[in-house]
Copies of this chain bind each other. A is one copy, B any other.
Amino acid sequence: MADRSGSAEDRLIARYFRPLARHPGTFEFKDDAAAITPPAGHDLVLKTDGLIEGVHFFPDDPAASVARKALRVNLSDLAAKGATPLGFLLAIALPKGFSEHWLADFARGLGEDADVYRCPLLGGDTDATPGPISISISAFGTLPTGTMVRRAGAKPGDHVFVTGTIGDAALGLQVRRNAAMASQWKLDDVMRDHLVSRYRLPQPRNALAETLRAHASAAMDVSDGLAADLAKLCGVSGVSAEIDIARVPLSPATAHALKTDATLIEPILTGGEDYEILCAVAPSSVAVFEAAAAKAGVPVTDIGRIVTGDSPPGFLDRAGRPLAFARPGYSHF
């Protein structure tokens, strides 16, 4: 967050981002870089993920929720890896003629979540772009050395758990794109707002980080869809899985929509942006994992088992038949 004395850029940084310089190692963004002292005996967990206007958010989404989503998608990865947030860097590119009101709202939302998740802004970069608003966040977490929860590590017999509910954000995105979907799915206003808010503002499961470190054999967050992400976890673990579709936890809104249109099961399982945690837990650890999750206030649901083999995970209907997906998960290209 270089200070460009006297320039318009400097003024923007001073006005909107300097109030977020709450970590002493930021030097109030009046230096070229931040300096932090990592806790002894700990590893750093590093992650970068970005949002682009028109790709990851709508131009008329509230700027504060765009900022919070940009941070939260990264916090979700830290949570899945078992890490405690340490701080983040922000790179933001703004079109010429952007609204300062938008930026003020963005910085306010960012600062609120930085406080809530105890993940301070450590520095950044602002640029002008001829393209859409682009936000890139690099987030850092810490955990005792060597304890990062890996994707690789799931073993045959492990129970497969997910947190919260699956599919809300995928349906919320469809409603956001086409408001008529809400009436087509016979949703009341509360249900519709629930789905859209789940798309707009992920609820990262940082409260579960310690429990995952203690009890999960493998974990990741669900960003590209439960089916695709489970396939990745199984792939690097050298295993497969069998999931009971009926046990996949759904919110009342998503369950209601699915009842009106059974084909929605595909976007529910593949649509992504859930930002829930998917993990594998050894049978001997299941009871203590469930108790620890309950204590942390995070709902977890056992949805199936890790099995041997290298075939893609099977999502089984009530008759035990595997579902075939037309489009297994989100890809940008």
Chain A residues engaging chain B, CB cutoff 8 angstroms? 2-10, 12, 25, 27, 30-38, 40, 43-50, 52, 54-56, 77-78, 80-81, 83, 87, 89-91, 93-94, 96, 122-132, 134, 136, 138, 140-141, 143, 145, 148, 150-152, 220-221, 223-224, 228, 231-232, 235-236, 328-333
Contacts and interface: CB of A to CB of B under 8 A. Distances in A.
B49 A43 contact: no
Given A55-B129, A151-B32, A8 B224 contact: no
Given A3-B235, A33-B148, A35-B143, 18 more contacts: A2-B223, A4-B228, A7-B228, A7-B333, A8-B333, A31-B81, A32-B151, A32-B221, A33-B45, A33-B141, A34-B46, A35-B43, A38-B44, A48-B138, A55-B127, A96-B333, A125-B136, A131-B132
Majority SS at the chain A contact face: mixed
A43 B330 CA distance: 38
A44 B50 contact: no
Contacts of A43: 25, 35-38
B52 A131 contact: yes
A226 to B, nearest CB: 13
Among A48, A49, A128, A329, max chain B CB count under 10 A is at A48
A52 B93 contact: yes
A44 B44 contact: yes
20 contacts: A2-B224, A2-B232, A3-B235, A5-B228, A5-B329, A12-B333, A27-B150, A32-B47, A32-B77, A32-B80, A33-B81, A34-B45, A35-B43, A36-B46, A46-B89, A52-B131, A89-B138, A91-B136, A129-B131, A136-B136
A56 to B, nearest CB: 8
